[in-house]
Amino acid sequence: MKKLLALLLATASPAMAHVTIDPTEASPASYTRLAFRVGHGCGGAATTAIEVALPEGTTVARPMAKPGWEIAVEPGASIAWRGGPLADDRYDEFVMLVRTPARGGEAVAFPVTQRCGETVAAWTQVAGEGEARPRFPAPLLRLAQAAAPTQGHAAPQTPAVTAATLSLENGWTRAAGQGRQGAGFVTIRNTGTEPDRLVAASSPAASRVELHTSLREGDVMRMRPVETIEIPAGGSVALAPGGFHMMLLGLTRSLEVGQVIPLSLRFERAGQVTVNLTVQAAGARGPAQGHQH
C-alpha cells in the first residue's frame, strides 16, 4: 500500500487527481442526481471498478445503468460498478439518484474505492475540523440548511425568480388532498448563451417530485418520466398541462387554493433554483390571471 500511495502521488496531476462528485451541494432529504467523476486511472492503470459507500441516512440510492459495467448494490451501504476498463487517459462519470440524508447544514462523505485491476486508490479520507485537505479526499456533498416550508396564504401572483441565466415565472399547481398526487407547472426562460437542463426537482410539500412528459397514444394521454428537460439557449420552455410537467408524488399536506408551496429545481448549469407554486383550483388549466401593475 505504501508503494501504491507513492506511485499515485508521483503521477497524479493536481487538476485531475481526484474522484469528484457533481454537484457538491444539495438540499437535505431531496432526490438528487449525483455523478462521480473519474478523470484518471490508478497511476497509469485502467479503472475496472468504482465502489461508492453511502453516507448514513441515504434512504434511496439507485445506480444508473452503464453499458460495459455490472452494478452491485448493497441496500443502504454501497453501490459498485465493475467492468470497463476505463483507460487511464479517459474521463467518465458514474451516476446515481439518491435521497440525501436529512441533515441540513452538514457535509456528508461518499467514500470511493477506485480499483484498477490489482491496484487500489481509496478516495476515503475526510478532514476533521480545521485540518488541511487530505491527500485522498472522499467526495463530499454539502447539505444546505433546510428551508422552512412556506405556510398559509400569499399573493396569488408569484414573482419571477432569477438565477444567473434562468428566469422562472408563473409557477402553479392545483388543489389536492394530503397523500394524493399533483402536477407542478412553471415557465423557464434561459437568457444565457448555453443550453441548460432541468435534472431534478423537490419540494417539502411532496415526498417525491418527478419530471414527466405527456404523450398522446390514440385517444389517451399518457405520462412518462423523463431524465431531463432541456432549456435551449435564448429560449424558454413552458411546463404546462398536456406537455412537460413536474409530478408531485405523495403530497405531505393538502394544497388549498391560494397557498404557495416552494419547489426547488436543479439545473445542470444554473444549479439549484427555488420557485413558488401558487395553488389554483382543482381543474385549472393555467396560472391565475392576476392583476399586474
Could you tell me which residues come within 8 angstroms of residue 193 by beta carbon, excluding any fewer than 6 positions away?
233, 234
In single-letter form, the type of residue at position 69 comes to W
251/275 Cα distance (integer angstroms)? 17
Amino acid letter, residue 34: L
Residue nearest to Cu ion (CB): 212
- Find the shortest distance in angstroms from Cβ 34 to Cu ion: 24
- As a whole number of angstroms, the distance between CA 239 and CA 281 comes to 18
Distance CA 249, CA 217 (A): 23
Give least dist CB 218 to Cu ion, A. 18
CB of 163 vs Cu ion, minimal distance in Å:
25
Question: CA-to-CA distance for 258 and 251, rounded, in angstroms?
Answer: 16
State which residue, 127 or 223, has the beta carbon closest to Cu ion.
Answer: 223
Chain contacts with Cu ion (rule: CB under 5 A): 212, 223, 247
For residues 122 and 183, which CB has a smaller minimum distance to Cu ion in the complex? Answer: 183
Kindly list the strands in the beta sheet with 119-123, ordered across the sheet, starting from the edge strand earlier in the chain: 69-74, 78-86, 47-53, 112-116, 119-123
Q: In this complex, which beta carbon is closest to Cu ion, that of residue 33 or of residue 212?
A: 212
CA atoms within 13 A on the CB side of 140: 14
CB of 246 to Cu ion, least distance (A): 8
Q: 208 vs 269, which CB is nearer to Cu ion?
A: 208
For the bound state, the minimum distance from the C-beta of residue 205 to Cu ion, rounded and expressed in Å, comes to: 16
Q: Specify the residue, 58 or 187, whose C-beta has the smaller distance to Cu ion.
A: 187
